[in-house]
Chain A
Amino acid sequence: MPSLNSWAYLFLKGSTSSMQATNLLILLLGFGVLAFYLGRGRSLAIAAPLGGIRKLHSLPSYYGMHAALWCALPSLFLLGLWLMFDESVINSLVIGSVAADIAPIDTATYNLLLNKVANLADGILPRKGQTESILAASDHMQSLRVISSWSLTALLLALSTAGLFWGWSKTASDFRARPAVEKVMQNLLLACACLAIFTTLGIVLSVLFESIQFFRSVPIYDFVFGLEWSPQTAIREDQVGSSGSFGAVPLFVGTLLVSAVAMVVAVPVGLMSAIYLAEYASKNVRNYAKPALEVLAGIPTVVYGFFAALTVAPFLRDLGSSFGLTVSSESALAAGGVMGIMIIPFISSLADDVITAVPQSMRDGSLAMGATKSETVRRVVIPAALPGIVGGIMLAVSRAIGETMIVVMAAGMAAKLTANPLESVTTVTVQIVTLLTGDQEFDSPKTLAAFALGLMLFTVTLLLNIFALHIVKKYREQYE
């Protein structure tokens, strides 16, 4: 694995290979268009002596599509695979065949060597002053790359020509081209739908894989129940797992504290405004106030972060000091409060959905008993809508827990175990960002810790989401 801080090399490499890929892609598309016209032409030619295209099983364009699909799809597939794996294959070939004097002993030296060889091959490093074996390796890499790119081009051309010919030759009056094309199309559609599953799988695997690596050096018990979080002390390899420095409890507490502050702001305001707009406000007020509130949902979180860090936090600090309170300039109150503002429209629109889903007959029943509007809302509508509201609040909590930019910008870095919202706390997401945005070796415990935190975050939010979505779905079904 190459080190991440050497992205300059990767970038250059990426630009050349992507250029090649783009050219090949354009070439393939051209071939596809050609195949379409050839296939269609042939079907027309076949149909003409038989008495027009009515004698064909399918419309001529389907024969064209059939040929085009055969021409382009296998080649595209090959191109994708090739681009994914050619670099790793070349790297392992080069490193596997280097002279014994520079052969790597562990991952660190492996990465170092690979960088050096690759930089030489790209011409970023001057060849002057390098050892023979390194130069040989870089020449080897260069030649392999050339071979790879030429063989890719040749293979693609051969494959697409073969596909074109096959699709073209299948064209016959009784060939069922439309079902064939539709079958392929449907499978493509299915593949697109399955992407959601692959994404989830990708998230789970990537986060889990790195976390397992992390838990090899830091016991999972220490991570989940440890009370001290100071990843900075473990920069060097020999300090890995030095007791307690990866205890995530302060982060969990900090996250919960900020989320709790957010909920204290968002739930009453969001719920009451939803109730007011759904039950009391006139049509006019609703038509203007609802979109205006939703504006809050469209504002990027980075803007909220800026607002929290530069406006709300100083304001709260000054306000606190005028009352003789010490409010940290990175207080959980500022971050949580602004996060609450962000979540208001989320809760109010979800609550609005479930409140309006409560059948009018419930309200009529209560009002006809002589209940006032607020009694109806509090004693009938809200209890009836409760599952939906709880589901909505849970979704909001999951959102607050996973919110990143506001806390990165407005909450602190230091992991403090406190329940005082006036103090500075740090959160899981803040730590993920700080651990991963520096120039880090990918497999240092510091970066791996970020993935372990990511695993925690993903698990908790996933459970909340599944549960909340289930409740909301059940609730909707009840009144449908």
Chain B
Amino acid sequence: MSPTDTTKPAKVAKKSPALKTSAAALNKAAAPNKAAAPKKTAASKKPKAAAAKKPRVMAAPKMSSSQSLDVDDHKVTVGKSFSDNAKMTMRNINVFYGDKQAIYDVNIDIAKNEVIAMIGPSGCGKSTFLRTLNRMNDTVEGCRVEGEICMDGEDLYAPKLDVVELRARVGMVFQKPNPFPKSIYENVAYGPKIHGLADTRVDLDEIVENSLRKASLWEEVKERLHQPGTGLSGGQQQRLCIARAIAVSPEVILMDEPCSALDPIATAKIEELIEELSQNFTIAIVTHSMQQAARVSHRTAYFHLGKLIEVNPTEQVFTMPEHQLTEAYITGRFG
């Protein structure tokens, strides 16, 4: 159990009353709406039905007066959550830590070979959501996921699915670079070794070199492959972790604020890398930096207090957000 994970629900809980009171003044008018709003009907379990109901608004949106800054009023994600070319589909996702709910009813698709960014104020559940995609939440005690997550039509939470296989297909890069206390070579070779991907030493060498090249780290480390990975700089460590993740040729790579611990130059390198990787991989990236989301992603999803508020092409989110909350966030009114 990581400490960050367990504290998140607490943060959510702590934050909400403060936000509510500040937003309350803005929303006197929305009060009746609030009272009438049912807590997302249990009947809408069928994802198809929910998707069909959803209006696909393509035209430039206008702020509707029914939108409010009180997240409790928020019921339906605005924007384009769904894709015809979906790699992963998520329907009615609710995540609980013990009694506390961290994610409320999230519906979204991730398209093939796209880079989707998830933004939102800290504690909004974006990292939690990301971790449900390769079931890393399984490692957190008391964490429960409801809803349906499919990759290529296969239910990720089906009882007979093996998480080992899933995680080999959905790789992950973490907030803080976490190279194993082994050599650079061993770090990259770890995945292929445990999965038995290389039959010979030559194969393994090839996988390691290719992965390091793809992570544009090869030139920097080829002379010292057998020195400890922890001796690299922060940015190099993070690229090593990316190399480690792609060494098993995953289909999707999840990145949880991969640059938050890095300096601007290292960050620029990683962002460059993400762009290159997007040719071969589907990438979901959580970031606290709106600029980064704007730079690297094709679509952007905005989370707020565990709810998915808006999903739209990145350009649109940062120029013409559909939802007041999104606008408030990107204009820096909170976050």
Chain A residues in the interface with B (C-beta under 8 A): 282-283, 359-372, 375, 379-380, 383-384
Contacts and interface: CB of A to CB of B under 8 A. Distances in A.
A372 B2 contact: no
Contacts of A364: 2, 136, 139, 172, 174, 178
B164 A372 contact: yes
A360 B194 contact: no
A368 B134 contact: yes
A283 B141 contact: yes
Given A368-B134, A372-B194, 15 more contacts: A360-B2, A361-B178, A362-B180, A364-B139, A364-B178, A366-B180, A369-B190, A369-B244, A370-B166, A370-B167, A370-B195, A379-B190, A379-B194, A384-B180, A384-B181
Contacts of B141: 282-283
A378 to B, nearest CB: 10
A360 B1 CA distance: 7
A379 B192 CA distance: 13
Contacts of A370: 163-169, 191, 194-195, 248
B245 interface: yes
Contacts, number: 76
6 contacts: A363-B139, A364-B2, A367-B136, A369-B248, A370-B195, A384-B180
A362 B182 CA distance: 11
Contacts of A379: 190, 194
Contacts of A360: 1-3
A451 B274 CA distance: 70
A359 B164 contact: no
B1 A380 contact: no
Contacts of A367: 136, 139, 167
B11 interface: no
Among A283, A368, A369, A375, max chain B CB count under 10 A is at: A368
B171 interface: yes
B176 interface: yes
Interface in B184-235: 190-191, 194-195
Contacts of A368: 134, 136, 167, 171-172, 174, 245, 254
Tell me if A's interface is mostly helix, strand, loop or mixed.
Answer: helix
Interface in B1-47: 1-3
A362 B141 CA distance: 17
- Counting from the closest, the 8 A-B pairs by CB-CB distance are A370-B168, A368-B172, A370-B167, A360-B2, A361-B178, A365-B178, A369-B191, A384-B181
B241 interface: yes
A365 B180 contact: yes
A380 B44 CA distance: 44
Contacts of B254: 368
Contacts of B167: 367-371
Contacts of A366: 180, 190
Among A283, A360, A366, A383, max chain B CB count under 10 A is at: A360
A367 B190 CA distance: 11
A343 B245 CA distance: 41
Contact of B194 (A361, A363, A375, A384): A375
Contacts of B244: 365, 369
Nearest to B195: A370
B290 to A, nearest CB: 25
B191 A380 contact: no
Contacts of B169: 370
Given A370-B165, A370-B168, A359 B248 contact: no
Interface string B147-175: 00000000000000001111111011010
Nearest to A375: B194
A369 B139 contact: no
Contacts of B168: 369-370
Nearest to B193: A379
Contacts of A282: 141
Among A282, A365, A369, A372, max chain B CB count under 10 A is at: A369
Interface in B113-141: 134, 136, 139, 141
B305 to A, nearest CB: 25
Nearest to B134: A368
Among B168, B178, B244, B248, max chain A CB count under 10 A is at: B178
Contact of B176 (A361, A363, A371): A361
Contacts of A283: 141
Contacts of B190: 366, 369, 371, 379-380
Nearest to B173: A368
A366 B167 CA distance: 10
Among A283, A359, A367, max chain B CB count under 10 A is at: A367
A478 to B, nearest CB: 9
A359 B2 CA distance: 8
Nearest to A386: B181
Contacts of B139: 363-364, 367
A371 B136 contact: no
Contacts of B136: 364, 367-368
Nearest to B1: A360
A371 B164 CA distance: 6
A5 B165 CA distance: 76
B2 A371 contact: no
A369 B179 CA distance: 12
Contacts of A372: 164, 194
Contacts of A371: 164, 167, 190-191, 194
Contacts of A361: 2, 174, 176, 178
Contacts of A384: 180-181
A372 B191 CA distance: 11
Contacts of A383: 180-182
A283 B244 CA distance: 32
A370 B191 CA distance: 7
B172 A380 contact: no
A363 B178 CA distance: 9
A379 B245 CA distance: 16
Nearest to B175: A361
A37 B178 CA distance: 66
A364 B179 CA distance: 11
Nearest to B2: A360
A129 B16 CA distance: 100
A375 B136 CA distance: 16
B241 to A, nearest CB: 7
A361 B168 CA distance: 17
Contacts of B191: 369-371
A371 B195 CA distance: 8
A372 B168 CA distance: 11
Contacts of A380: 180, 190
Contacts of B166: 370
Contacts of A369: 167-168, 171, 190-191, 194, 244-245, 248
Nearest to A381: B180
A361 B167 CA distance: 16
A97 to B, nearest CB: 74
Nearest to A372: B164
Nearest to B135: A367
Contacts of A359: 178
A457 B195 CA distance: 49
Contacts of B172: 364, 368
A369 B240 CA distance: 13
A377 to B, nearest CB: 12
A186 to B, nearest CB: 39
Contacts of B178: 359, 361-362, 364-365
